[in-house]
Structure 1
């Protein structure tokens, strides 16, 4: 997004208020949502105007920085503010937006996890087969700037320093949980285990409920994975693989519908990263602050979604979008996953998967 330099906040504000499309492009949200965000941060989370700058301008500085990933210098020129002011106000709003998490990115209660989502009930492709579905989870990488010897642990398989973010979302593309801070070198399944073991508020599935996960995770109690192919048996999973022909057996039919429902997490990640370009290349702050920025953008994602004002990014993703193809699982990691799956919890979930596969197969005969 290119702004005409030197216009200052007043002209930018006029463009935001008078042109919803410009507001969406500049701030990644509808003007009504933007105003609601400003009001919420001011009235509930102690963000205050001063004699020199309003809450509305402060929030706009933060959103432009996150949405466009512009430098402090460029944002300062656009708003007619010094770099020092942009830096201070960015961090003040960052503090306030993070505080929103208690309202907009909170761990679901056990009671809420027992409920059946309306969107699930209304979709005959998934109901009643996946009646235990409470969400989908996956990991995604966000590039991070780490200097010196500390960078070693953050190198991912692409040769970049990154964070491996564990995200859980519900069927409505709302984040319900995030585990931040794992290094890019950490396997997705290990990040999940760190979250389960290390976070007392991790939303563990109630009895009979489960999250959908892909083949990079073990099929175990509370986490339903697809059938994994092997050298002896080729089993397709990703939706794009079925372009070559329909499912050939009950395992592939299960995998196709599993992939379709599970793709909600990939689409959620897609909308989130599309809106907030800062995630493509986080600023050169310390790792803790970079993590906080990731967290804040997830909160903003939910804030926008929960206000239910039409949003082209979400609407486009709702009508299309397929899960990204997972990288080949390394042999060492595959062995560890298979060991988990021969435990009692693994056998239990294998039985659940077989039961669902039989139901879907019989329904579509």
Structure 2
């Protein structure tokens, strides 16, 4: 699970509300995908200044809400709160794949973060492929379309992306995106301030710790 900012044209009096960390107006779109790089949920159209946790809360409460099967969870980046339904990486622990290219994991938390990063990388790849296929949503220049049109374009591109990934995946394009991700600058692994230690957080923490310990046990067993 991840957010995806798309540049949008808005009236002058709404620029501040839509201005994101990229310093220009964007939509903050929430996306989730499978490991075969197909989108399973898309919520488009939130203003760029909206916090990721606020967009997620909307996804969970609206009529066409994001559904999470019992006993399952999404892998989410450090911008989201840890819960039983959204498992985030350990804070203050090496995370990105490049950080493990020379030094292998030394404890259960590092191993968990390494595998979390490896699996969650699927959504970064999906977004990268989407933008490569459809430059209309990836342009760095000022857009010609209003916010409603951009939302429709983004959803349409996601639908076409899913179809193409099923019938004719472009292996060369996928390899190009993978290479760019590996060489891109990475953001620090920090947790959102919304990760308060409430009951949901503690349950998510217990699930994460149990998974990490089992992984570490199996990892050492196979290494011996």
Give me the TM-score of the superposition, normalised by structure 1.
0.55
- Tell me the distance in 1 between the aligned counterparts of 2:59 and 2:107: 35
Measure, in 2, the Cα distance between the counterparts of 1:253 and 1:172. Answer: 23
From the superposition, tell whether residues 310 and 170 of structure 1 become closer, same or farther in structure 2 (CA, over 3 Å).
closer
Distance apart, 1:206 and its partner CA: 1.8
* Residues 1:298 and 1:324: Cα distance change in structure 2 (over 3 Å): farther
Of 304, 312, 322, the residue aligned with 2:164 is: 304
- The structure with the largest alpha-carbon Rg is 1
Structure 2 partner of 1:275: 133
Contact kept in structure 2, 1:267 and 1:317, CA below 8 Å = no
Paired residues, number: 216
Deviation at 1:318, TM superposition (A): 8.8
| Deviating more after overlay: 279-288 vs 313-322 | 313-322
Report the CA distance between 1:279 and its aligned residue. Answer: 1.0
Structure 2 residue runs without a partner (length 5+)? none
Query: 1:313/1:185 Cα in 2 relative to 1: closer, same or farther (>3 Å)?
Result: farther
Q: Call closer, same or farther: CA 1:202–1:227 in 2, change over 3 Å.
A: same
Alignment match, 1:248: 106
Q: Tell me how far 1:271 sits from its aligned partner.
A: 0.3
Written as runs of structure 1 = structure 2, the 5 A alignment for 1:177-326 is: 177-197=41-61, 199-229=62-92, 235-281=93-139, 283-307=143-167, 309-313=168-172, 315-316=174-175, 321-322=181-182, 325-326=186-187
**Would the aligned equivalents of 1:271 and 1:313 in 2 still touch at CA under 8 Å?**
no
Q: Is the 8 A contact 1:155 1:162 kept in 2?
A: yes
CA contact (8 A) 2:95 2:189 kept: no
What is the aligned counterpart of 1:362 among 191, 198, 217? 217
> After the TM superposition, which segments of 4 or more aligned residues of structure 1 sit over 4 Å from their partners?
317-324
Q: Greater RCO between the two (CA within 8 Å, min separation 6)?
A: 2
Measure how far apart 1:317 and its partner are: 6.2
User: Hey, what's the Cα distance between the residues in 2 that align with 1:326 and 1:182?
Assistant: 22
Deviation at 1:193, TM superposition (A): 1.1
Distance across 2 between alignment mates of 1:280 and 1:258:
27
What is the aligned partner in structure 2 of residue 132 from structure 1? Answer: none
CA RMSD, Structure 1 to Structure 2 (Å): 2.2
In 2, are the aligned partners of 1:266 and 1:324 still within 8 Å (CA)? no
Find the counterpart in structure 1 of residue 205 from structure 2. Answer: 350
